[in-house]
Each structure stands twice: as structure tokens, then as C-alpha cells.
A and B are shown apart, each in its own frame.
Chain A
Amino acid sequence: MRMNKIQVIVLKEWAEVFKNKLVMFTVIFLPLIFTALPLVILYATRDVSAIGSQVEIPDGFRSVCPAYMNSGECFQLYIVRQFLVLFMLMPLMIPVSIAAYSIVGEKTNRSLEPLLAAPITTTQLLIGKNLAAVIPAVAATWFGFLLFVIGVFITTSSQNMIKALLDPMWLAAILVLGPLLSILSVNLAIMVSSRVNDPRVAEQLSAVVIVPVMILFFGQVTGFLILKSSLVIALGIFVILADVVVSWLTVRIFEREHILTRWK
């Protein structure tokens, strides 16, 4: 059976990178930690609904808290939502190590030249490498989110909380914005790793992409920024545009000649 070339690259990448312990750790443990952490906090504050109106949450957040929730549930939702941003951080962080390794790893193995000599276009190669990094990251994030929702339900037994967690804005943020952010992060990692010789340098430089999400995270925690539908839509549009520009740049920067003749 003949395989699509992109599929061949994806399977090759997975066969290779998942033998790397650091990559495996990032793909498996990062989502588990990011999922377990808010659940532990939620469990510790499970009796907060009894506190009622005594809890203090930023006014900005109170305004987006659903009307069907009491103050205690609103507080719990506030805590949970801080951590939902982590589910946007995961698709950024997980693929960076895969993507950074995928180009520089080829360089250190000297395996890129035979690959480039094969009848495969740069676009096919980069899409393959992109998907090989994005798919595990998105799958791990979605799986982590699923565990999180189940965990929230078990911890709080609150239908209201589940309803609030599964609202269209958050689903859009995690199911759509997450993969878009992942594509952005992978392309940046590939772009950087096309130009550097050390996978660690590539990984560190590419990690800069998490800064905007960290700003969002701290913005939420401090009440300075509240993730609303309008912000998610604006972010989505921005990331789509950024994805298009960065993907185009990645193909442009990934020059076979440069890579073959300059890499020593």
C-alpha cells in the first residue's frame, strides 16, 4: 500500500522522537501535571460554596460569572479558569521539544541530505514535521482537558460547574485556539531550528512563544485581563494570521541549499 508522503514523515518522526525520553516526558507528564494541579486546588477548596459571599474575586470576573452560580461556585469557577489557560499553554509547550529536535536532530544525525534528495517537496516535509509535533500536543491537551472535566465533576459534583466549563468560549479556546497556537509554536521552533545547530538552543529560543499566554495567565490571576468571548475571538483571528505568516516564513527560511551548504 502506497502511503502519502506527509504520512510517511509523520510516522517516521513519531518512531524517532518517541524514543527520546525527554520528549516522552514532556508529552505524557506535562499534561498530567497541568491537569492534576487545578484538581488538587479544587479539591482543597471543595467546601468554598459554604463560604458564600465572603469570598473575594475580581470584579471583572464576577461580571462574566454565569448568573446561575452562587458566589462560592463563582469562586471555584474563578480558580478553575485560571488553570484553563494552562490548557492553552500545553499545545505551545509540548510540540516545541518535538519540533526543535526534528530539524536539528536530522542535522546532528546527518540524515537530512538523503531525505532532501528524496522526491518530497519542502512543503510536504514541513507539513509532516509540523503534524508530527502538533498532533501529539493537541491530543495530549484534549485528553488532559477531558480528564480535567471528569475530575472537576467528581471533585465538585456540580452540574453548574461542568456547564460553565463546557461553555462554547472555553471549548473554542481549547479545541480551536489550542491547535492554532500549537501550529504557531511548531513553526517557530522549525524556523529557529533551521538556523541553529543545537536542539537545546532551538528549544529555548522557540519557548519565547509561551510568553503571550503567560501574560494572559497572570493577567487573569491578577484580574487585569479576563478571558471573554470577544478576547478569544480576537486571539483566534490573530493566531490564524500569525500561523499563515509564520508558516509562509518557515517554508521560505527552510532553504535546502542553506541547510546543506552552511550546516557543518
Chain B
Amino acid sequence: MFIPHTDADRSAMLQAVGISKLEDLFRDVPEKYRFPELNLPPAQTEMEIAAELQEMSLANETVRDLICFLGAGAYNHYTPAAVDAIIQRGEFLTAYTPYQPELSQGTLQAIFEYQSNVAALTGMEVCNASHYDGATAIAEAVNMAYANFRGKRNKIILSPAVHPQYRHTVRTYTTGSTLILVGDDPNSDVKSHPDALIPIIDTDTSLVVVQYPDFFGRVYDYTKLADAAHSVGALLAISINPIALGLLKDPGSMKADIVTGEGQPLGIPLSFGGPYLGLFATRKEYVRKMAGRLVGETIDNRGQKAYVLTLTAREQHIRRDKATSNICTNQGLIALASTVYMSLLGKNGLRQVAELCYHKAHYAAECIANLPVYSLWSPTTFFNEFVIRCPAPAVEINDLLLDHDILGGYDLSQDYPTLDSHILFAVTEMNTRDQIDRLVEVLSEVNHG
């Protein structure tokens, strides 16, 4: 199968090493623990494991079996066939991190193009080679801002409209530090305008974090918030949905200092939550403070244009305990997939997908809000997600929808006690008018208030 040794090979090799059997290689291993019997299922052939996994996978009902209106950080978008064709090439798939640039120009140029596309999309000057996901990208933004002020500014302001799991991740990451995280009390008025955070920004604040569109789908201009942060020397980070930026103003134009985001909508399969892609871009003055890998253009000793990992002195393998982050692996292949996606769609295709999401979501929101016992929670501008106040607990509504093969929206009461009976619906280009009409029809069956 995967071990090519014949009996003759083994004998010859053992002889060369000067031992008579494989067991002799492990004399340094304490004898009482040596060669435990592993109680694992018996080995299967490729044919058998393929069948077992096929069956397991069929025990799931997916967004292809159900009509999906669930988003909340992971979205059902169309992936062009060319994306998978490229990332399945063994030359990309089975290469290591490009430490030897002479043998890795494919990966290096692809990362360079990823950096270029993400910088263009976000309106920022530099972008790294990616973080694990949208949540950890914010955690890295927090670390970067904290280090930027040499640990002298201890306050991080998190908008309550940042994804709950992202905020949770930031809290886990910062448990060892002196940082204080404020601004996102779940019992606060989460409907308030983001400028309501301005009064708590002070000279002890290193970073303000918001999301665009926010977790509830709302679109705000954060320029005033950026000005307020900058007026006391603090930084602003905006976590984005990259599809929305096909249509909406880039966060760079709102004076963001750091832009993070979940890259999954850019052609990455849902895959039950991962692997996804943590986008991270910033302004040039922070390039040496940013964690993660970075590819730069240069020339080789034959005078040709070429690419190489650069500013590596920032990274863990050089700085060791002085590094701001321990990240080494990035999401290489997923970043490549997103680059192929962005390149295929281009400026017009991404705009087209964004507009489809926008129109379909607005059609759905309008039809639902027209039902007598449902209403739109907030009249604010939104992109492709919106919150509906329902006449019954979200769990009941979603159960009913599931009975009709519809995967309902996200139950907001899980994270926001004041949003009992509120559902966050997501609509993408994958949802047809018939599917939306079907959703509205089933929702209309609930008519008690």
C-alpha cells in the first residue's frame, strides 16, 4: 500500500544498520511501555473505507438536501469547478511551506497574488499569507495592537455585533495577558449604533473591533468610529465578509487600521466548519508588527523576477519567545482556492454575486416582514443577512422549517438573551425565488403572536 519495502529490502536495510530485526531499533524506548497493542478497528482496504465513509456522509442532511437559510459566519455560495481542479494538483497540494524558494515559485507567486487580491478587495496596503479563520484573525489583530503599544494600553473594545464565536476566541487567546475586553455585554442594547462605543474609547484603548456587515447583517459606516479611535491614538479593526466587498465600500476607505475576515465565502466548501481562511490586511506602517507569513517580489541571481518569504525576522522560528504570535502554518491551499475564485470572478463577477445576494436577501426580508406576525428587527441597511422577530421561540420556528426540509436561520437567543425569538436569516446567490417563497409559505403557517 503506502510502505514499499519488500522482504529482501528489509533484510538488506537491517543488515546495513547492523541489527537483525525491526524491534532492535527501539532499544531507547522504556521496555514496560514498548509495543502496546492498539485497540483500533481492523485495517480496511481503500474500497471498504470508501464505502464506510460514503455511508457515514449520507447520514447527514446537507445544504444540498435542505433549502439553506443558515449563515452566521459560514455561507452556502457556488464554487466554480476550476477552483477544485487547481487545488487538487499534486504540485500545490503536496508541497510544504515555501522555505526553499527555488523549488516553490508556484506557491510563492500564488500567495503574492492572494495578497494582491485581498489588499485590493479590502482597500489596504498589505495582506499576509492568511490565518486559520475569521476568529483567530481577530485574536491576532488584538495581539498585534497590544504589542504595537508595547503592552501599555490594556483595553480592547469589542462591539457586541462581532460574531459571538470570534469574541469568545479572543477571550481564550488573551487569558494569559493583562488585557481587558469591554463593550460587548450581551445584555446591552445590541441594536444600538456602533458610534455608541465612542464614549468608552480612551487613551488606555489599543484596539476597537467591529464587523462589516455586522453579525446581524447590518451595514454601517465606521469612519466616525475610526476618527474617534485615532484621536486618542487607538487602532480600529474591521472584520469583513469578502463577498460583501464586491458591492460595498472597502474598509480602507473607512480608515480601518486592520482588516480581518472569514475567507470561506470565496469558493471554500462549508465542510462542517473548516478548513476555512483567516484574512488579515493592514496599513504599511504596521507591516513589521503583523504576524503570519508574507511573500515579497525580488530577483534571482540570473536577473529574473522571483518571489520569496520576506520579513521572516518577525516570525516564531527566528524570534522565538520575542515573537508576537506562534503561527507558522497558514491556510496555504485554501488561500490558493480563494485566489483562483477571485481571479475567475474578477471585479465584475464578484459584484454580480454580491448584488444577487443583496437582491435575494431583500426580497426574502420584504416577504417575511409582510407576514402579519413577523417583523424586521432593525431598519438599518443590510447586505445578505437580516434579523426577524418571530411569533414563537426560534427553536420552534426552525423545527417547523426543518419538517419542511428547510434549514432555518441562526437562533440568536443562544448568545443574546434579549433576542429571544429572533432569527438571523442568510440568503445567497444559491437561493432561488421558489426556495424563498417556500420559506415564506412555511413561516406563514405560524400565525399566533
Q: Do A and B come from one complex?
A: no
- Give B residues with C-beta under 8 Å from A: none
- Give A residues with C-beta under 8 Å from B: none
